[in-house]
Chain A
Amino acid sequence: MEHTSTLERVLRGLAIALIVTFFMFPIIWIVLMSFQTNETILRSPPSIVFAPTLSNYVALITGKLESAAGTLDIAFMRNLGNSVLLSTASVALALVLGVPAAYAFARHKFRGSEDIAFTLLSFRFAPPLLVLLPLALYFQDIGLANTYIGLIWVYQLICLPLILWIVRGYFEDISADVEYAYRIAGHSWFATFRKIALPLAGPGIAAAGLLAFIFAWNNFVFALVLASADKQPVTVGALAFVTASGIQYGQIAAAIVLSIAPTLALALYAQRYLVEGLSLGAVKG
């Protein structure tokens, strides 16, 4: 154990506190804002002391936005539901398609395998706006515009390359001997994939899935163009708070708190899988 002086420990604690404050401040500020009315938010100078109110959350959950100009209907809870549905379904589909593909790319070098893998990655290079217009036209022609299926399909542009490339790396890290050993013991390649490769790449698959979920959740532009109000996720739905009578900061803050809650909860839950060691010391180098 390295010996550290008291001064060093104090300084180190101070530095960490500073960094954490810096990064956590926006989130803390948003949480505080979500319990304030627009008036208290906009007062000058700003203050941490205020009378907390749940009116913002009430407005979001009931869908009735009270403002100076009157009552406005908003579909925030529906948007939240859309976000959950779109992100979950997209990641699930990307995992079903991407994990076996990643395994194939990791274990079988066939003619053109690198090219195919790279093409899939290149979907991430193009700016979404470049493909959006033609995509919107096509979708209208084939009847996929403003459908969940159409959106989930387009979301594969975000999720699939991510999952494919991250999970492929994890599969490549598994010693081929471990898989050979299972096959020689008399199991089919599919059993080997299920019982050896999948569990060992588990932490990687969880990490990739989580990351893909966050990317899908945060997506804005695909849903903006390809979906109408009743299919839109929170990212697009939040635009409703920019009303004729002004920007509803309080409700925006509450909406943000509600919309980061699922991803935050997911990240905290998945954390233990992410830190779990991969190789677990069974192979000696």
Chain B
Amino acid sequence: MGGIELIDVTKRFKSDVALDAVSLRVAEGETLALFGASGAGKTVLLRLIAGVIEPDAGRIMLGGRDMADVAPEERGVGMAFQNFALFPHMTAFDNIAAPLTAQRKGAAALKAGVEAVARLLKIDHVLDHAPRALSNGQKQRTALARALAGAPKVLLLDDPLRNVDAKLRFEMRLELPRLLAAQGATTIYVTQDYKEAMALGHRIAVLEAGRIVQIGTPAEIYLAPATLGIAQLFGDPAINLLEVTPETDAHGPLARLSDMRAPLDPGLGHAVGRPCVLGLRPEAVRFADADAPGAIPVTVEAETPLNEKVVSLTVTRRGREILVSRPAGAPGPAEGPAHIAIDAAHALLFDRETGARIAPRAPDAAQRGTAKRGAAA
């Protein structure tokens, strides 16, 4: 019983609402990546769970137990801070040993416990160093080791890779899932990096200005983002956004791009006539022959090889810029006039006013589809 459940948790600082009725459930052993820009309330959420600040309203349950009036030291939580928050006057060993001394472990068990987790994180050779003598990467690993040492049921990781260099971040991104799985703890992993969120989370919760706007698997978040904002945050290169007003013809709904008809998902009939934004992932656009159906004439302006893929910047006749991504090695024009075609199945449609995604309806619903407001996922 190590799940985390938040029910309508609200936290205000003076008049600022940091968290606005957030409800969240993380199953035992699951890793939830909590993603959001700075100031979205991610750290506040972790601190509420850890118990170092108290919610103004709502309930926090850990392992089915209500945590109101339970002191932080009694919650059985491990937490790694973004700024590491190591104890500056203690050695790395004593830092990592802190949760074990609290459990009143004997000297031998203490030593064994610290060394095991230090070996796991490859910092066993710097255990007698003071924090100031550690490199950033070692500090980060020490902070992580301290969070893991007590074998907590709930692990809260507050952007632990934020302050480490790119190489280490990449290594840790590969190592962490294995580590977390071995630990078996229920984990909330806070990050501002969408790649980290996708790599580490079984599910991702997107937090925006104190509200959770979407929770889903990485694939769901990427392929079916709830809002325009989420679509922009996930993906590199960024999603192409084109203002369109869907029309309809005998084949179903379509978007008009450079006077060419780009067919849309048949379930999007209810979006016809509404001002929308068409979201096209660069990989949902491909170069096509001039006579392919729906081919749009463009000019290739620039090409960026990114080793595993090539990203081309193209410009339509009306001056709209569209990024096209293709796997490295796939043929494509380096510059000059070309044609592109879009992959209707992966085109996303957003309401221009609210930014909410307009989800395709099931075919029978699409039959009745009028200009009614689309359901946001």
Interface residues of A (CB under 8 A from B): 175, 177-178, 180-189, 196, 199-200, 279-285
Contacts and interface: CB of A to CB of B under 8 A. Distances in A.
B139 interface: yes
Contact of B87 (A182, A184, A186, A189): A182
B367 interface: no
Contacts of B98: 181-182, 185-187
Given A181-B146, A184-B77, A283 B84 contact: yes
B72 to A, nearest CB: 5
B132 interface: yes
Contacts of B71: 183, 188-189
Contacts of A279: 88
Contacts of B132: 280-282
Given A181-B81, A184-B75, 17 more contacts: A178-B85, A180-B50, A181-B79, A182-B87, A183-B71, A183-B72, A183-B73, A184-B78, A184-B79, A185-B146, A185-B150, A196-B87, A279-B88, A280-B131, A282-B87, A282-B132, A284-B139
Contacts of A280: 88-89, 130-132
B103 interface: yes
B88 A185 contact: no
B232 interface: no
Nearest to B142: A282
A199 B88 CA distance: 10
B297 interface: no
B102 interface: yes
Contact of B73 (A175, A186, A282, A285): A186
Given A181-B79, A199-B89, A186 B103 contact: yes
Interface string B97-139: 0110111000000000000000000000000001110001001
B328 interface: no
Contacts of B202: none
Contacts of B47: 180
Interface residues of B, number: 33
26 contacts: A180-B47, A180-B72, A180-B79, A181-B81, A181-B86, A181-B98, A182-B87, A184-B78, A184-B79, A185-B98, A185-B146, A185-B150, A186-B73, A187-B101, A199-B89, A280-B88, A280-B89, A280-B130, A281-B131, A281-B132, A282-B86, A282-B88, A282-B131, A284-B84, A284-B136, A284-B139
B102 A187 contact: yes
Contacts of A199: 89
A106 B168 CA distance: 37
A282 B84 contact: yes
A124 B98 CA distance: 41
B83 A283 contact: yes
B73 A284 contact: no
- Pick the 9 closest A-B CB pairs, nearest first: A186-B102, A280-B88, A282-B88, A281-B132, A177-B85, A282-B131, A185-B98, A282-B86, A185-B99
A100 to B, nearest CB: 19
B85 A281 contact: no
B375 interface: no
A51 to B, nearest CB: 54
A242 B163 CA distance: 68
A185 B85 contact: no
Given A181-B81, A185-B102, A188-B73, A200 B52 contact: no
A121 B77 CA distance: 40
Contacts of B81: 177, 180-181
B242 to A, nearest CB: 41
A189 B77 CA distance: 16
A150 to B, nearest CB: 39
A188 B74 CA distance: 9
A276 to B, nearest CB: 10
A285 B83 contact: yes
Contacts of B86: 178, 181, 282-283
A189 B132 CA distance: 25
A198 to B, nearest CB: 10
Contacts of A188: 71, 73
B85 A180 contact: yes
A285 B81 CA distance: 12
A281 B75 CA distance: 29
A187 B77 CA distance: 12
Contacts of B74: 186
Contacts of A285: 83
A179 to B, nearest CB: 9
B69 to A, nearest CB: 14
Given A280-B132, A284-B136, A284-B163, A184 B84 contact: no
Contacts of B146: 181, 185
B83 to A, nearest CB: 5
A192 to B, nearest CB: 9
Contacts of B73: 183-188
Instruction: Indicate the member of A175, A178, A184, A187 with the most B CB atoms within 10 Å.
Output: A184
Interface string B55-83: 00000000000000001111101110101
A182 B147 CA distance: 10
Contacts of A181: 79, 81, 85-87, 98, 146
Contact of A284 (B50, B52, B83): B83
A196 B98 CA distance: 11
Contacts of B163: 284
